[in-house]
Amino acid sequence: FKQKTAYEIGVRLVGSEMCIRDSIGRALDNGVTKAEISEVILHTTMYAGWPVGANAVRIAKEVFEERGI
**In this predicted model, what pLDDT tens digit does every residue of 32-58 receive, in sequence order?**
999 999 998 898 888 888 888 899 999
**Average pLDDT for the chain:** 84
Please state, in angstroms and rounded to a whole number, the distance separating the CA atoms of residues 44 and 67. 23
Q: Is residue 12 over pLDDT 80?
A: no
Provide, rounded to the nearest whole percent, the portion of the chain with pLDDT above 70: 78
Instruction: Record the pTM.
Output: 0.78
- The pLDDT, as a whole number, for residue 10 is 62
Contact between residue 23 and residue 9 where contact means Cβ atoms under 8 Å apart: yes
